[in-house]
Amino acid sequence: MNEKTRNFLVNRFQAYYSQTEIQPPQEYASREWGFIHFSGSSETFMERHRAFGSEGEILDQLKGMAPAHAYYSVAYYEYPAAPKMKEKNWQKADLIFDIDSDHLPGKINSYAEMLEKGKKETFKLMDFLLDDFGFDENDVHIVFSGGRGYHCHITDPSVLHLESPERREIVDYVSAKGMDLDRILDIKEVSGDAGRESAQMLVLPSEEEGGWRGRINRYFISFLQEITARDDAEKLLTGFKGVGKKTAQQIVEVFRDESQIEVLKKGNIDVLSGVNKKVINALIEEGIRKMSAVVDEPVTSDIKRLIRFPGSLHGGSGLKVMSLTIDELEKFDPLKDAVVFGERSVRLKVIKPFAVQMKGKDIEVEQGEQELPEYAAVHLMCRGAAEYG
């Protein structure tokens, strides 16, 4: 960006910090702080190894320097301002999850669609953290990153002293990495009638079991109930590898019978004895893909990571980094609720065509001089799509 653009953005960020109360994280004096400033250079430099002894010092830094990005460490140190990591004396660290919306599978057509996809993935992660791990909602802190997705901070004392390998195992669990289907779909020997040898019966975990086992039972049933309720159920089912017309008919008959559903909930899938085990495995694998949460493993396993400061502004979008409760996340619209700048008109030179939806408005601009509301102008300048004036 040119100098005029840099000065404009610094001025607007300063105005925001001068009018805003920001709550520092717990034990902020034990954390390392870092900042990236607006620059006309293509090179990015982080000012780090900073420490603050009071909330006023943090706010003064934000008001004075108006950084493009503000971070603090997930770790708590004895000497957070020490210039070398080994001198800081690591004590503990919050457990952090990062969901980058642009890294999620599937096609994305717009920024708004990308953020909505990240929000849905965050809810999937919440299911694991609250149900499977049993964390209290008060120890689970959701943060909209201001850019591409969401962070989740866990401050439960039971996880603060975990090392990187243990944190990596948690990521493996929520992402279903290394899931062994043979441990999910059991084969049990059952006694045959008089004069017959024992037979084999497939058994699923019951819906009441904890963790992935019960989760798979519930998904397997709800997924097939949803399909078999449709008029074109047989056609949809034959789209799965190994499912022919006869097998599809059997699946439809079973999942439209409530008494059979109750049997399946208890884990007995002998009612699907005519369905090849490979087909059942394929359906379960589809369920695992849909239920698992896609998180950035290096962020979680890094016990010295710097993470965005909630309440600060994101220099790549102009949006606010926002803390959210689980209830607030449900109705949260980042391109409305995280917009902090107003409607006054700003003249700018658009470098490349750009489209975004903000405050419920579809904003599309072509190359050349334009006048836009300040919130949109700041966003375009932060994204590198326009220069000021």
Side-chain-side CA neighbours of residue 147 (13 Å): 19
Q: Angle at the Cα of 159 (from 157 to 162), degrees rounded to 5?
A: 130
pLDDT tens for each residue of 167-187: 999 999 999 988 877 777 666
Cβ of 40: how many Cβ atoms within 10 Å?
A: 10
The pLDDT of residue 196: 45
The pLDDT of residue 191: 53
The pLDDT of residue 267: 84
pLDDT tens for each residue of 107-137: 888 888 999 999 999 999 999 999 999 999 9
| Helices assigned H by DSSP within the chain | 3-18, 55-65, 85-88, 111-127, 164-174, 211-228, 233-237, 245-255, 258-265, 277-291, 297-301, 326-331, 334-337, 374-382
Render each residue's pLDDT in the chain as its tens digit; 389 residues: 899 999 999 999 999 999 998 999 999 999 999 999 998 776 778 999 999 999 999 999 999 999 999 999 999 999 999 999 999 999 999 999 999 988 888 788 888 899 999 999 999 999 999 999 999 999 999 999 999 899 999 999 999 999 999 999 999 999 998 887 777 766 665 555 544 444 555 678 888 888 888 888 888 889 889 999 999 988 888 887 778 888 888 889 989 999 989 988 988 887 887 777 788 888 888 888 888 999 999 999 999 999 999 999 999 999 999 999 989 999 999 999 999 999 999 999 999 999 989 998 999 999 999 999 999 999 999 999 999 98
The pLDDT of residue 67: 96
Tell me if 49 sits within 8 A of 83, measured CB to CB. yes
Residue 321: closest CA among 331, 332, 330: 332
- φ/ψ (deg, to 5) at 61: -60, -45
List 348's β-bridge partners, or say none: 370, 388
Residue positions annotated with a catalytic role: 98, 100, 296
